[in-house]
């Protein structure tokens, strides 16, 4: 099955909605609740951490001899940005969707408070 494809009706989900609403996905075709598989999340996180470590090591070698006051913080900032971007791209490319279990869907429905007017 392709990435970002509903396992029930085989409808494709947009990449933006998979990344932005990865915990509260609903299929646009059949309306069933979906979730990103744990393996896809773990691979995306590992890819982001690996990219962040590489950028941190490369940046710390370059900025360690810098006489700039921000020389110590720039590798951290750059590695955080690399982690964020690479994990996002990996999740967009590898997002394997599965049906959300009934227990999780019911728990999410009960956790959302109903809005009542005070009058």
12 pLDDT band, cuts 50/70/90, is confident
CB-CB contact of 87 with 32 (8 Å): no
**pLDDT tens, 71-112?**
778 888 999 999 999 999 998 888 888 888 766 555 555 565
Which of 88, 93, 84 has the alpha carbon at shortest distance from 4?
93
| Residue-averaged pLDDT of the chain | 81
3-state helix, strand, coil in the chain (%, to 5): 55, 10, 40
Residue 42 CA, distance from chain mean position? 10
53 pLDDT tier (thresholds 50, 70, 90): very high
Per-residue model confidence (pLDDT) at position 7: 82
- Contact present, 94 and 36 (Cβ < 8 Å): no
- 30 contact partners, CB below 8 Å, separation of at least 6: 6, 8, 9, 11
């Amino acid at each position: 099955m392709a990435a970002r494809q509903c396992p029930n009706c085989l409808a494709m989900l947009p990449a933006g909605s998979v990344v932005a609403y990865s915990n509260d996905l609903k299929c646009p075709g059949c309306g069933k609740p979906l979730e990103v598989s744990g393996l896809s999340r773990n691979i995306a996180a590992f890819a982001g951490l690996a990219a962040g470590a590489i950028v941190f090591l490369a940046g710390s070698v370059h900025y360690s001899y810098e006489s700039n006051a921000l020389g110590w913080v720039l590798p951290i900032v750059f590695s955080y940005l690399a982690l964020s971007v690479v994990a996002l791209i990996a999740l967009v490319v590898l997002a394997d969707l599965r049906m959300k279990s009934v227990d999780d869907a019911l728990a999410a429905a009960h956790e959302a408070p109903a809005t009542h007017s005070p009058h």
